[in-house]
Amino acid sequence: MKLLNNILNPFIRKEKPIIEARIKVLRFRKFLENARTLMDLIEDGKEKLKEEYILDRSYISSLVDKVIENVRMLVFNACMLVPEGGEILYKEFDEHKILAQKDILNIISEKSISPKDKNESEEPEYRLLRNAVTWMIGPFSKLRPTVMDFIKQTFDHVIFGLSKFVYPQGIVSQLDLNKSGNDYHLDIIQLEENIILKNRKKLAINDIQCRPLGFMLMDNEKSMNIDTKSLSNQKNWFAAVSRDYLSLSTKNPQNIILLDAQLSGFVDSDFIFIFANKSITLENLLPKGFRVEKTNLGTMAWNYDTPKNIMENHLAYLSQKILKLYN
Amino acid sequence: MENRQLRIMVIDDEQIVGKRLKSALEKTGDIIETFEDGVKALERLNNHPFDIVVTDIRMDEIDGIEILEKVLAKSNQTKVIMITGYATVEMAREALAKGAFDFIAKPFKPNDLRAIIDKAAKELRKN
């Protein structure tokens, strides 16, 4: 046993940083999945409120339960990614949960719901659904944060925390390339291959089998009109890649850009997520069809439920806009 | 069966369902009766025939499957459409196996149910 440990220990020591880096990227992907589910649930509640749907109390309680469960998973993954400050997130999550229990779920569990007063024209189920949607996205009459506010706060917690994460030297490969006359430098880890990369191995584009990155690095002759003067001293990007997945980020907490994309060909699971801090006007860099949300730290944008060829075009377009910010 | 008014019974223990469906389905001139109590609905069915019965699957007193069985035992011409909620998809499959015409999952738009009713009406006209 001791002999086996002696043989394995150097291997484990070398593998540990790369495994930790991979786990962070994969955990962030889970975090994004929770967030996407939450966005869909919130949209569903909004739509049911707008349209003339036949619904009952079990729909509302199921919607609220699913939102609570996904926010709980979001907070869990956020705290695994960035443990510092996690107790504040859990405390605030509890407050949102208690509020939902008191204002929505307890009322639903009562056998009969009666209108508030004689002048109340809205049916009680729709009034409850309205309460649930207000709990999720507001507006609240008082200065009380909504679930959506809390989701954004959780994103800020994670993205700012991750921007300070330093990938250990020696675990990454490097890619230097010239695209449309600009030089780029990427530090790369591979998410799927179980290999120890000796020193800082230089890669060629063809070495990287990653669909999203492939579309980003495709040549494109469209003009780029981004003012990069204030950002010109930032040169490095970090990319975690697998065949279908790319997690691309800058390494500087002062100028955060983060792009995660899945391009597997399955519309249900493919997406592009981008976050940029306040120094960048992200809205001006996006192609049409992105859902944009402002946070205290910056702006995040999503694109999903989009056909594969449009996603590919989006990535090619974004590469012109985003890579150039730090070329 | 000629293109006449349909007699449709809606059974759901959630008041909002009957209320909304009655006003939506009456727009096409059909006769709609709504019940929150499955037992009372069955009593009514014993005295008055209905072309189509739309019933929720999960109810306290008597569930939709039992209603389906009793309706079909009385008249196999009647088309029974099941309303399913969250986590009752398995029961919907059971209902189809027992002779339900179709099912629809809540939340739904009245027009979605109207499309199923139109299909059922076509079947009734064939007989």
Question: For the structural domain made of B7-126, what CATH number should be given?
Answer: 3.40.50.2300
Q: Which of A22-36, A86-100, A212-226 has the lowest mean pLDDT?
A: A212-226
Note whether residue A183 is domain-resident. yes
Are residues B21 and A123, on separate chains, in Cβ contact within 8 Å?
Answer: no
| Same domain assignment for residues A29 and A85 | yes
Q: Does A58 touch chain B (CB under 8 A)?
A: yes
Note whether residue A233 is domain-resident. yes
A235 falls in which pLDDT band (50, 70, 90)? low
Are residues B106 and A123, on separate chains, in Cβ contact within 8 Å?
Answer: no
Are residues A124 and B16, on separate chains, in Cβ contact within 8 Å?
Answer: yes
What was the ipTM of the complex prediction? 0.84
pLDDT at A224: 35
pLDDT at A206: 73
| Same domain assignment for residues A242 and A309 | yes
Q: Are B36 and B13 in contact (CB under 8 A)?
A: yes
Note whether residue A313 is domain-resident. yes
| Same domain assignment for residues A129 and A202 | no
pLDDT at A178: 67
pLDDT at A196: 43
| Domain end marker among A115, A130, A163 | A163
Domain count, chain A: 2
* Residue A49, pLDDT above cutoff 60: yes
| Same domain assignment for residues A196 and A239 | yes
| Same domain assignment for residues A205 and A223 | yes
Are residues B17 and A124, on separate chains, in Cβ contact within 8 Å?
Answer: no
Q: Are B75 and B45 in contact (CB under 8 A)?
A: no
DSSP β-bridge partners for residue A187: A174, A238
In this prediction, the residues of chain B whose per-residue pLDDT falls under 50 are: none
Are residues A52 and B19, on separate chains, in Cβ contact within 8 Å?
Answer: no
Note whether residue A168 is domain-resident. no
Q: Which domain holds residue A285?
A: 173-326
pLDDT at B68: 96
- Average of per-residue pLDDT across A2-20: 66
| Domain end marker among A113, A134, A163 | A163
What are the chain B neighbours of A59 within 8 Å (beta carbons)? 85-86, 106-107
Best B12, B15, B113 residue to mutate vs chain A (most A CBs within 10 Å): B15
| Same domain assignment for residues A137 and A219 | no
| For chain A, percent of residues with pLDDT exceeding 90 | 52
| Same domain assignment for residues A81 and A114 | yes
| Domain end marker among A100, A129, A163 | A163
Per DSSP, A102 falls in state I
